[in-house]
Amino acid sequence: MLQFNDAKYDWIVLDTLGNLILKKDRSIPAFYSNWLEGGGTYIFDHNISYWNQYGDTVFSISPELREKPSFIFSRGNYRLPKSTIGDPNLLKQYLHVQQIFETSHFLAIYYFYEKRAFVLIDKKNRNTFISYLGSDGNGGIFNDLDGGTVFLPESYYVENGREYMVGLITPYKLKDFIASKEFTNSTPKYSEKNKELVKLASSIKETDNPILVLIRLKI
Q: What is the pLDDT of residues 69-93, one digit of tens each?
A: 999 988 777 888 888 888 888 888 9
Please state, in angstroms and rounded to a whole number, the distance separating the CA atoms of residues 4 and 193.
54
Are 109 and 57 in contact, with CB atoms under 8 Å apart? no
Run of H or E residues at 39: strand 39-44
* Confidence class for position 5, pLDDT limits 50, 70, 90: low
In the predicted model, what is the mean pLDDT of residues 132-148?
87
Domain identity same for 152 and 51: no
Domain identity same for 22 and 62: yes
Domain identity same for 150 and 173: yes
Domain that holds residue 159: 141-219
Report the number of distinct structural domains present in the chain: 2
* Whole-number pLDDT of residue 3: 61
Q: Evaluate if residue 12 carries a pLDDT over 80.
A: yes
Tell which of 93, 114, 139 closes a domain: 139
Domain identity same for 127 and 216: no
Domain identity same for 123 and 195: no
Q: Evaluate if residue 52 carries a pLDDT over 70.
A: yes
Are 23 and 11 in contact, with CB atoms under 8 Å apart? yes
* Confidence class for position 4, pLDDT limits 50, 70, 90: low
Please state, in angstroms and rounded to a whole number, the distance separating the CA atoms of residues 50 and 65.
13
Helix (H, G, I), strand (E, B) or coil at 19: coil
Domain identity same for 112 and 5: yes
The better pLDDT of the pair 19, 135 is held by 19
Please state, in angstroms and rounded to a whole number, the distance separating the CA atoms of residues 83 and 147.
48
In the predicted model, what is the mean pLDDT of residues 186-202?
92
Please state, in angstroms and rounded to a whole number, the distance separating the CA atoms of residues 49 and 62.
9
Percent of the chain with pLDDT over 90: 68
Q: Which of 109, 161, 116 is nearest to 138 (CA)?
A: 116
Domain identity same for 155 and 112: no
* Whole-number pLDDT of residue 160: 92
Domain identity same for 32 and 42: yes
- Give residue 37's identity as a one-letter amino acid code: E
How many Cβ atoms from other residues are within 10 Å of residue 50's Cβ?
18
